[in-house]
Amino acid sequence: MDKLIQALKDTIMANGILQVETSARHVHLSQADLEQLFGKGHTLTPKRALSQPGQYLSEEKVTVVGPKGEKKVSVLGPVRSRTQVELSRSDCMSLGMSAPVRLSGELENSGAVVLKGPNGVVALSEGAIVAKAHIHMTPDMAEKLCLKDRQQVKLEVITDRPLVLQEVIVRVDEASSCKVHIDTDESNAAGCEDFTLGRIIK
């Protein structure tokens, strides 16, 4: 039965249909900033595994502090080389912050951000972004779909409020689970629910 289910999943994905996941606001911390916020020697406490291999939601939370307000955000693990805060455009507006639309890891000239934890505060001159919609994909699936890393595609979100997203970026990596990631603004606009599918349009 498991083999049959996997075969059906592979067939569906080979036709460019993937699960769409909504990524709410969150932060990836460097070890230095983690210790500044939570105390020397602190390590993240895994709470739940995420769909991408090796990544997890931690028990820890921090507060993003903006000129107009504050918001609690989840911390995702493991730690990274640089701290990155991912917000929706709506989050930025309510916080009074500015952040560019970027792919994860593209932090040069990104938004300034202040983080508050139980043990201290971290003020960063850059690190806040609005995450660009993207598709995680294995090399094998990319080959089947004739797609390349960083290629831009359109994606039709299949709901009762169908929406076509433009300039969705394909991220090809061996250590990937084939999923689409969009933020809460995009998800709400399309009326996404717990399980939503999307179709790649080249």
Rounded to an integer, what distance in angstroms lies between the CA atom of residue 82 and that of residue 105? 8
**Given this model, what pLDDT does residue 3 score?**
64
Return the CATH number of the domain spanning residue range 16-22+133-201.
2.40.40.20
**Domain parsing of the chain, residue ranges:** 16-22+133-201, 24-131
Express each pLDDT in 151-161 by its tens digit. Answer: 999 999 999 99
pLDDT the model gives residue 4 = 58
pTM beyond cutoff 0.85: yes
Q: pLDDT tens for residues 3-56?
A: 655 666 777 777 899 999 999 999 999 999 999 999 999 999 999 999 999 999
